Amino acid sequence: MEILLYGSAAVEACARLRPAALREIYVEEGRERAFGALLDAAPREGCARKTVSADELARLAGTRAHGGVAARTERPEPAQVRPAMRDAWHAAGEKVLFLENVAQPEQLASIARTAAICGFSRVVADEKKTVPALASSRFWSLSGGAAEALKLYRTESPAGLLRMLGEKYFVVGFAREGGRRIDYAKPPTFPGKTTAFLLSGDANGVPAELISRCGHLLHVPEPAEGFLRYAPAELAALALPWLSSRAKRAGAGFLQRKKEREKRAGGNA
**Residues 107 and 230 placed together within one structural domain of the fold:** yes
Residue 42 counted as domain residue: yes
**Residues 12 and 104 placed together within one structural domain of the fold:** no
Domain count, the chain: 2
**Residues 188 and 97 placed together within one structural domain of the fold:** yes
- Exposed / middle / buried, residue 256 (Cβ in 10 Å: 0-12, 13-18, 19+): exposed
Which CATH number covers residue 7?
3.30.1330.30
**For a pLDDT cut of 70, what percent of the chain falls above it?**
80
Residue 99 counted as domain residue: yes
CA dihedral 128, 200, 73, 34 (to 10 degrees): 160
**Residues 24 and 129 placed together within one structural domain of the fold:** no
Residue 262 counted as domain residue: no
The residue count of the chain comes to 269
More confident residue, 59 or 249: 59
**Residues 69 and 86 placed together within one structural domain of the fold:** no
**Residues 182 and 245 placed together within one structural domain of the fold:** yes
**The last residue of a domain, from among 56, 74, 92:** 74
Which CATH number covers residue 152?
3.40.1280.10
Which range of residues forms the domain containing residue 52? 2-74
8-state DSSP, 127? T
**Residues 12 and 132 placed together within one structural domain of the fold:** no
**The last residue of a domain, from among 26, 48, 74:** 74
Give the C-alpha separation, 28 to 22, whole Å: 17
Please write the tens of the pLDDT for every residue from 48-79.
999 999 999 999 999 999 999 999 999 888 99
pTM (two decimals): 0.81
**Residues 34 and 86 placed together within one structural domain of the fold:** no
**Residues 228 and 211 placed together within one structural domain of the fold:** yes
CB 202 within 8 A of CB 101: yes
**Residues 220 and 128 placed together within one structural domain of the fold:** yes
CB atoms within 10 A of CB 17: 12
**Residues 189 and 244 placed together within one structural domain of the fold:** yes
Please write the tens of the pLDDT for every residue from 120-166.
889 999 999 999 999 999 999 999 999 999 999 999 999 999 999 99
**Residues 98 and 219 placed together within one structural domain of the fold:** yes
